[in-house]
Amino acid sequence: MTTIPVALGSRSYDVVIEAGVLARAAEWLKPLSRGRRMAIVTDENVLPHLATLQAALSAAGVESEAIVLPPGEGTKSWAMLEQLTDRLLELGVERGDHVVALGGGVIGDLVGFACSIVKRGCGFVQIPTTLLAQVDSSVGGKTAINSRAGKNLVGAFHQPALVLIDPDVLDTLPLRHVRAGYAEVVKYGLIDDPAFFDWCEANAPALLAGDPAARAYAIAHSVAAKARIVAEDERETTGKRALLNLGHTFGHALEAEAGFSDRLLHGEGVAAGMALAFGYSAAHGLAPAADADRVAAHLRAIGLPDGVAAAGIEADGETLVAHMLHDKKMDAGKLPFLLARGIGGTYLDTSVNLADVRAFLDA
């Protein structure tokens, strides 16, 4: 078992990583239940894992109530937020209770946001069931829903009380979703850890094939990296945490053009966005062209998109930049971009000219 603390003072919590921890989750959840029934929110794709969790809780004498939502990015919506909060209130959830988010990033984001506003804030626990959620969205307290204007534009910072990660649940995850999650793994190497990018190049095939050792190392290394950054900059006030958005400005624009649907998974959008960020950096003499080519080649080799066309998007630069104008990172009319001076050299640039971005995307 690996336990990684997220050090945030009174809001600190542990991320527990262990194969088979789902079946033992009651060890951690029973003390949080306070002898009351626990609400578990999940989606229709996660029902086998729901059965495992509820059986574990029942054996420990903890009652639970499942709320099962539709799968997919469309669930991160005003309508589903209203439906979920109403149901939690019907169940009598109190401020001192902890709601369990069992699922991928969509469930974690939605449940976390709902718990941030139900009775002005109740507790929640993340049990992520996708690679992307395990290495990224379950840690750090960013919660949100999508709106017509764009992705994750309505939300709150609301830290979980605990994160339980069971690598074994990935055995049931479709390969496409494992690949999408891997984009958030390799991101940590591209941000500030070139040695980890080297590891990813050498071990990505084993990780995607389900090798337990490769999977466990990738998850633990990624979580530790994110925990460190979140502890330094919980609310993106210093710019350090903003580095975690590498690929997201381009990627969210691609997702918006795809209608925030399964046509382009979030991790696929991030992969294409990271390749575009490195490509833009190289085109403007900020990063070596060899590094941009290396990043794109690695993403292609494992089956992830490395640009607009590869992501299946047919849109010009003007259309994609128009989506970017709704980015939540806009500040005083300026849109910061995560660019790179090379692999492991990501930095925040607030001087990017959007006309240059349009021309780059069109090229």
Active site residue 221: no
Q: Does residue 218 contact residue 207 with C-beta atoms inside 8 Å? A: yes
Q: Which of 236, 240, 263, 326 is catalytic?
A: 236
Q: Is 226 a catalytic residue?
A: yes
Answer yes or no: 248 catalytic.
yes
CB distance 190 to 43 below 8 Å: no
Say whether 236 is catalytic. yes
Of the residues 76, 98, 248, 358, only one is catalytic, namely 248
**Which residue of the set 98, 152, 184, 234 is catalytic?**
184
DSSP string, 175-237: HHHHHHHHHHHHHHHHHH-HHHHHHHHHHHHHHHTT-HHHHHHHHHHHHHHHHHHHHH-TTSS
Q: Which of 76, 142, 177, 215 is catalytic?
A: 142
Catalytic residue among 76, 266, 298, 329: 266
Report the alpha-carbon distance of residue 123 to residue 242 in Å, rounded: 25
Select which of 179, 215, 226, 298 is catalytic: 226
User: Is 353 an active-site residue?
Assistant: no
Count Cβ atoms within 10 A of the Cβ of residue 30 and give its class: 0-12 exposed, 13-18 middle, 19 or more buried.
middle
Contact 17, 167 (CB under 8 A): yes
Please identify which of the residues 49, 76, 221, 252 carries the catalytic annotation. 252
Is 241 a residue of the active site?
yes
Angle, helices 26-33 vs 47-59, to 10°: value is 70
Instruction: Check 187, 241, 298, 329 and give the catalytic one.
Output: 241
Annotation marks residue 268 as catalytic:
no
The catalytic residue among 158, 177, 245, 298 is: 245
Sequence letter at residue 98: H
245 is catalytic: yes
Give the residue numbers annotated as catalytic, written as ranges: 120, 142, 184, 226, 236, 241, 245, 248, 252, 266
